[in-house]
Chains A and B, each alone.
Chain A
């Protein structure tokens, strides 16, 4: 299995409890108002809701220091979007695996039969319908009707496979973005196909919630299908899908004969090659929201396996040297480059960006199971966007977009929400 709680005991018991996980890296903090980085501790306040607090609970579980798995414990463990901000901040000074300790704690609980009923429904939907949204599998390809795109479920091969992801397939407000993406790729002359009704969930939510068996099943099946379809590239518009395919799929040890790209990477490439030309002006002041799984959580994860040696007395030396994932290698520039190339657009940055971006609030099943927390988190980001006088917030993930739109509808704010793909389509 990928997630074993005992593999992270060494990290969990070396947390200094310095609270740096609760803030953006201190050197890049810019104001009191936007000085928090973790939605969970910001919303719920008790220490248990921080990265450090969650490591303490993971350690307590590993050491048998919590007698019962209570509803309160499960709520603490899952009132977290697994955005990884705690992890990036911790690694500014230490080299502890905060996020993977959180994943492993969840997997440990699930392995003992402990999970939230709402999450079980998500997993049941996965098992029965191959998606997290309790929608019929047969409807998966409806979003692409009329696009005249090669459906690989009927056989055949394509150089590039477009993976829409669950939310784009089933959310009627968002599926036009997947349609736009496919239209743009075709327009640029890409040899493109989709898996049609055979497309299945990427498994990211199962992984993040701790259901490893389901994750592995979906991930392996996807890799097999894409290999069989002769794909050289798999392109997805879903940041969550991209993050899991980049960071975790390689750990399964299966040969991946394809490169994984996010839609913003390939569009950026096509625009720079002149295959897509943005000519229409969109005179708007926008800000860009970095989706966590396109940014800091998309670095290929290399779990450390080795021995800890004592040298210089008590200096703990890891052999082999640990690969430290600091979030810097995420996809940050392609979406920004695209936005900058749209005529008339002014891109302004918020305070918390890139590897220390504030989460939209939707991740890790939170949108589906704790919508109040998801909306609160989004509303904080909307206020941050408004603080830089942006007229629109642009993102590159359906979950971010869905959640921002819902939060704006709830609050009555006037901020517009766009996907990068929508801007490109409008600007052509």
Chain B
């Protein structure tokens, strides 16, 4: 099936001939999507064309053409993961790459207005010039600021001090599936971008709710996000050679430490106390495998793992970073931290105390630029399991369940042996919320490994259901009905609400529902 020539011409008249393509080579390149793919690297379904709008007006025009001709569309920003592709035949893909501007950084009111293809690192370097900083999601600073704020998840370890993307969202410009433009928050009352929930309409819950609609509810063309106080220099200069760029000068009042605890329960107790004490810049559950893969690769990593050294010094650990505004505050936070560690049996790991590790950790923590090393480099295939946005207790229960289940698959040899407990992230918003992801690495080109990994993911979902551990937010191979269809019936039928929202906002069902939800009744799916 290919697009009707007249329809293609209509799209072309909107974006210009340079910005639309149905060439097989162009389409094939978009089909390369290993992350979340349950077999190999290629998507089964190709978009019929790729369009690259440059403005809200062009997005509106495309959506209206799609409604007129009943053509399904899907929008993507940086496009990492198979959920970025349309999951139905005959659809078009909007690559928002040309909408890439930082429209405003409001220093006084501490927010930025961005288009979809602005990545976190672009915003951070510009924000720092004005004494501000931005939240970066755990996936890394190579991801879109807008996408995580409006559409998908949004968690990251600096969320301890800088919230999570969904919460940081202020005014929004939203092209609904019908092509109408809806302005949310203060923007909807022509009062600027400063607030997400008024004086204009607040539809935060409908727009993204808990985890986002994954591109199933139209296109977000602009949004404002909160920025935070930055106490460091306006530019972070680096030294050393790749792959170990590190800060040229240490930051004042900055201290990063890896801590380990006698048990996961004591780690949880420390996390609660740290949240209550409202100290810290960054916290992340870090495991021996994750840290080891940050530090090295290949044979060096294997030797390190087999020596058992990392497992010994980092069993039940997390990384905690203090970044204070003054010496007095720095001393205070250190004292509070020391007291909490004493109460909970936490010990600083000697590996984080060296000058080299302090430099490396500081860089990684601030830039969030090396996630691929720990997740994709070792085996190629990667996914996450478990992970609901809730409490520390729930996160710990998920970690325990994940580690136990993974042992079985590690013994089978179908996933990488990362010790079982390989989980990331922890507290957000100074302890109001917690989240984790239990990571799993496998070889997506090895049929037995890929199948084993997906059996593990399916079994992890069953455990979530049976043990009441909540739907895994970021298991991207199971977004959409794979998740909502299973968890909806046991979670107050929340999926029925999602269907109603979808039906109301997308009467022609032209915005690809695959990664979100279909408006159809559950039984018919």
By a beta-carbon cutoff of 8 Å, the part of chain A in contact with chain B is: 13-20, 23, 25-32, 35, 45-48, 52-53, 55-57, 59-60, 65-68, 70, 72-73, 76, 88, 91-95, 310-318, 321-322, 326-328, 355
Contacts and interface: CB of A to CB of B under 8 A. Distances in A.
16 contacts: A16-B80, A19-B142, A26-B369, A27-B236, A27-B369, A46-B21, A46-B50, A47-B29, A70-B24, A76-B26, A92-B242, A92-B370, A312-B305, A313-B417, A315-B302, A326-B241
A73 B25 CA distance: 6
Given A32-B122, A60-B29, 13 more contacts: A13-B380, A20-B372, A23-B119, A28-B238, A47-B79, A92-B242, A94-B373, A313-B414, A314-B441, A315-B416, A321-B298, A322-B298, A326-B241
A353 to B, nearest CB: 12
A97 to B, nearest CB: 14
A13 B487 CA distance: 34
Interface in B247-306: 297-299, 301-302, 305
B1 interface: no
Contacts of A31: 125-126
Given A93-B370, A313-B413, A29 B125 contact: yes
B451 interface: no
B140 A18 contact: yes
B32 A72 contact: no
Interface of B: 19, 21, 23-26, 28-35, 40-42, 50, 52, 78-80, 95, 97-98, 102, 118-119, 121-123, 125-126, 140-142, 235-236, 238, 241-243, 245, 297-299, 301-302, 305, 363, 367, 369-373, 375-382, 410, 413-418, 441-443, 445-446, 449
Contacts of A59: 32, 41
Contacts of B19: 45
A59 B41 CA distance: 10
Contacts of B443: 310, 314, 316
B245 A45 contact: no
B142 A316 contact: no
A426 to B, nearest CB: 32
A202 B385 CA distance: 53
Contacts of B121: 23, 26, 29, 35
B23 A72 contact: yes
A415 B98 CA distance: 29
B351 to A, nearest CB: 20
Contact of A70 (B23, B78, B305): B23
Contact of B242 (A65, A66, A355): A355
User: Ordered nearest first, which 3 A-B pairs have the shortest CB separation?
Assistant: A56-B32, A48-B29, A26-B369
Most chain A CB within a 10 A radius of its CB, from B235, B378, B442: B378
Most chain B CB within a 10 A radius of its CB, from A29, A59, A70, A73: A29
Nearest to A326: B242
A19 B122 CA distance: 14
A68 B24 contact: yes
A31 B118 CA distance: 12
A52 to B, nearest CB: 7
Given A48-B29, A313-B416, A88 B242 contact: yes
Contacts of B373: 93-94
